[in-house]
Amino acid sequence: MAITGSGSAVPANLLDNQGLTKLVDTSDEWITTRTGIRQRRLADKSESLAALATAAGRKALAASGITAQDLDLILLATSTPDDLFGSACQIQGELRASNAVAFDLTAACSGFVFGLVTASQYIRTGTYQNILLIGADILSRWVDWQDRRTCVLFGDGAGSVVLQANSCDRLLGFELKSDGSQNNDLNLAYKPESTALSESVNVGKGNFQPITMNGKEVYRFAVQKVPEVIDKALFRANLSVDQIDWLLLHQANQRIIDAVRSRLNIPEHKVISNLAYYGNTSAASIPLALDEAVQQGKIKPGDVIVTSGFGAGLSWGAAIFQWGR
Ligand code: ACO
């Protein structure tokens, strides 16, 4: 398989750190030094997840030179669909990709990497030829905007890539992991209230609660597990760390990116980071940063990219691929 094009889309509304000081007791200095984030884009009521994802998908299709009609599969990595039944079919309808099957994949901030590996298996088995993979999230819908420990971290966006069958397999190695024993460290949980339908039958009607996170634990987990999983993926790819061109991690916190880079002994100039401008956009963060680096001409065909996603689940994974056909 080969990754032959990328695209991205973000909402127009921008909230900088100064703007957040009007909502919660925080400062630009605290947010910048602890996270590296300076601003984030936030979707307003009129902007749907499907619309953002579709916009990113259209650009990836154009960049790869195929049409929506060529698609066999649309895979949407998201934790914030417009509809709990899934949003991938809405995107399929919008794109008029009538030959494609479409479904959602939920793996929080690991969603793009899990999606990349999942999609590539369909190509490796010869089942599908052309796949649109989109990572998109609107976490602003689920953030408690009164909670300074979380609201400063997140932003909204979408990023996308096209995967195509190719004579040379450009997915060089991967490793995926889950640990449900730490599930309570990061949640966007459903809270049921008992509702009686009859004397003997109750159902749990309720609502999803805002994001809760044990920041310190998630930080510790990321700094320990991400280098390990990258090492494993490098081993599977039979590559040494000095053979990689770019380190592209889930954009959660600049301190996590710096710590992982330093543990792996990767020089600073090989790190891709745009977290300062978008915050943590969950499943969108990797393809958003990837697309930006491609647009800027940083990433070139043949470059070896190490990518790693990590987050709720807890889940984490790494994938190593070569850009282009
Ligand atoms: N502004 C000012 N002060 C704050 C803020 C804020 N926004 N948030 C917390 N504080 C205060 C705390 O109350 C605390 O004060 P206290 O010492 O008086 O109690 C102090 O700052 C330190 O708080 P910590 O939580 O210890 O801060 P820490 O240095 O751990 O940084 C952070 C917090 C940025 C959240 C960090 O822990 C982190 O990045 N964790 C990982 C998050 C992550 O990567 N998530 C990725 C997955 S996301 C997903 O999957 C959807």
The full set of domains in the chain, from first to last, is: 2-169 (3.40.47.10), 172-182+211-322 (3.40.47.10)
> What pLDDT is attached to residue 58?
98
Regarding the beta carbon of 35 and ligand 1, being less than 6 Å apart is answered: yes
> What pLDDT is attached to residue 180?
98
pLDDT digits (tens, 9 = 90+) for 187-224: 999 999 999 999 999 999 999 999 999 999 999 999 99
Mutate-to-test residue for ligand 1 from 26, 143, 218, highest number of ligand atoms within 8 A of CB: 218
Burial code of 289-301, b = ≥16 C-beta within 10 A, e = fewer? bbbbbbeeeebee
State the Cα–Cα distance between residues 158 and 161, nearest whole angstrom.
11
> What pLDDT is attached to residue 313?
96
> What pLDDT is attached to residue 127?
97
Q: How far is the CA of 97 from the centre of ligand 1 (A)?
A: 42
Residue of 17, 109, 130, 253 with catalytic role: 109
- Does residue 280 carry a catalytic annotation? yes
- Does residue 250 carry a catalytic annotation? yes
> What pLDDT is attached to residue 91?
98
State the Cα–Cα distance between residues 177 and 186, nearest whole angstrom.
16
> What pLDDT is attached to residue 103?
98
pLDDT digits (tens, 9 = 90+) for 14-34: 999 999 999 999 999 999 999
CB 323 within 8 A of CB 315: no
Residue of 17, 130, 253, 280 with catalytic role: 280
Regarding the beta carbon of 21 and ligand 1, being less than 6 Å apart is answered: no
Q: How far is the CA of 214 from the centre of ligand 1 (A)?
A: 8
What percentage of residues in the chain have a pLDDT greater than 70?
A: 100
Q: How far is the CA of 153 from the centre of ligand 1 (A)?
A: 9
Regarding the beta carbon of 315 and ligand 1, being less than 6 Å apart is answered: no
Report the atom number in ligand 1 closest to the C-alpha of 252. Answer: 44
pLDDT digits (tens, 9 = 90+) for 296-323: 999 999 999 999 999 999 999 999 999 9
What percentage of residues in the chain have a pLDDT greater than 90?
A: 100
> What pLDDT is attached to residue 51?
98
> What pLDDT is attached to residue 21?
97
Regarding the beta carbon of 36 and ligand 1, being less than 6 Å apart is answered: no
Q: How far is the CA of 147 from the centre of ligand 1 (A)?
A: 11
> What pLDDT is attached to residue 46?
95
> What pLDDT is attached to residue 173?
98
Backbone angles phi, psi at 164, to 5 degrees: -130, 150
pLDDT digits (tens, 9 = 90+) for 41-80: 999 999 999 999 999 999 999 999 999 999 999 999 999 9
- Does residue 109 carry a catalytic annotation? yes
244-251 average pLDDT score: 98
Q: How many CB atoms lie within 10 A of CB 111?
A: 34
